[in-house]
Amino acid sequence: MTEHNWAGNLRYSTTRVAHPTTVEQVQELLTTERSVRALGSRHCFNDVADTDGVLLSLDRFAPLEGADDLEIATSADGTSTVTVSGGTRYGTLATALHARGYAIHNLASLPHISVAGAIATGTHGSGDRNQGLAGAVMGLELVTATGDVLVLGREHPTNAFPFDAALVNLGALGVVTRVTLRVEPTFEVRQDVYEGIGWDVLAEHLDEVTASAYSVSLFTRWGDEGIHQAWLKSRVDATTLPAEGADLFGARPATEPRHPLPGISAVSCTEQLGVPGPWHERLPHFRMEFTPSNGDELQSEYLVPREHGAAAVAAVRSLREHVVPLLQVNEIRTMAADGQWLSPSGDHDALGIHFTWLPDQPAVEALLPRIEDALAPFDARPHWGKLFTTPTDRLAELYPRLTDFRDLAERLDPQGVLRNPYLDRVLPRR
């Protein structure tokens, strides 16, 4: 059996993928197998989910079939939530939620990713005031390596298990079988693409640009033209919306749909040109019904405290002669602080610099230390699910709660059932 991740750059070490359908089956796997790792939608570009034991997929676990299967709960304070299996894909959930008149605050660029996997690796989406996807989580059902079933809630934290430790968890605490998410009334979004924001303009007006819509993504290949595309996703119920034909700090509105990569058809991209539509059909960059993105690629991303955003962008631009030959496109976006122990934006608002690379892993991995050195003065934190080479001791400096998280992981998994080479690198045992 040959199992590989979405990008095809990783062949998993396992010869077996288990597809439990009940909590009891998850418990049995965790308590009888030597090594188990939870497997999401396989969209990670590193070995975070790899094992030579059993890969455990929740793709058949109490699957979400459609709107009729959703149960919306409303608490006494008016908070509405929905509970789904960890293997549910965001695109499937979003379609069902919208049909019931509800929405989630934020989505990633791709709707194809699984809920538990995205949360575990700190996947975030975009928006100055938008927390990452884990910011909507109100509760978790977690099966530990010893077979215990823990039901955790944001409103009922315990000293023994702080809720903010459980979200971005790298698969080290157990298998998240169910997730409870905060939802809100559905809303419409329009998407406008602008072309050509110069580097000088961006340096002077970065905060204003990223604040110009509910969610903003800036695409560049580090050429003299600066930001070649700015994707603005504006809530239609906002007080201000882009004016028809107006520019964005000198950038002009695109006159036809665009793909982030120049010369690529926009048929797989979500609708643009200011046409309003449901939130879940505009917040992602790509449509659910198409194969994600452009095909073969690798990805890396580094998040810096927001106040260092312009300087960090300038630092990467200074490396453009090394970056551009391996690059498909860079995306710059922002996200709000969320308080989670291992979130790259846990204790501060952040700006992310996301690299979509050509599929040349040896060359990319040889370049990454140079990028990481250039971003080191700005305390850049790598995205946990993408390619990075940040040393273990540096990760401990960047994440003040990393040691506490390691201790929690060892307490919940004393035999190391969930351990793998990835965790040995980023979270070495005492």
CA distances to 45, 112, 261, 269 from 289, in Å = 22, 9, 19, 10
Q: What is the pLDDT of residue 263?
A: 85
How does DSSP classify residue 79? -
Asked if residue 1 has pLDDT above 60, the reply is: no
- Run of H or E residues at 108: none
pLDDT in tens, 265-296: 999 999 999 999 999 999 999 998 876 554 58
Written as six digits, the tokens of 75 are 């608490």
Rounded CA separation 28/341 (Å): 29
Listing DSSP states for 242-288 in one string gives PPTT--BTTBEEPSS---SSTTS-STTBPP-TT--EEGGGTSSSB-T
Residue 176: burial class (beta carbons within 10 Å; 0-12, 13-18, 19+): buried
Asked if residue 117 has pLDDT above 60, the reply is: yes
Listed in order, strand segments (DSSP E) in 58-112 are 72-74, 80-85, 102-103
Q: What is the pLDDT of residue 332?
A: 98
Residue type, 393: D
Over its C-alpha atoms, the chain yields an Rg (Å, rounded) of 21
Asked if residue 33 has pLDDT above 60, the reply is: yes
Q: What is the pLDDT of residue 220?
A: 97
| 243-247 long-range contacts, CB within 8 A, separation 24+ | 244/274, 247/194
Find out whether 240 and 190 touch, Cβ atoms under 8 Å.
no
Q: What is the pLDDT of residue 296?
A: 83
* Least confident stretch, 109-118, 173-182, 378-387: 109-118
* Least confident stretch, 200-209, 292-301, 358-367, 421-430: 292-301
Q: Helical H runs in 66-169?
A: 90-99, 115-120, 163-166
Asked if residue 14 has pLDDT above 60, the reply is: yes
pLDDT in tens, 137-179: 999 999 999 999 999 998 876 666 789 999 999 999 999 999 9
Asked if residue 20 has pLDDT above 60, the reply is: yes
Sketch out the chain's domains with CATH numbers: 67-186 (3.30.465.10), 188-279+296-392 (3.30.70.2520)
pLDDT in tens, 188-209: 999 999 999 999 999 999 999 9
What integer best gives the mean pLDDT of the chain? 93
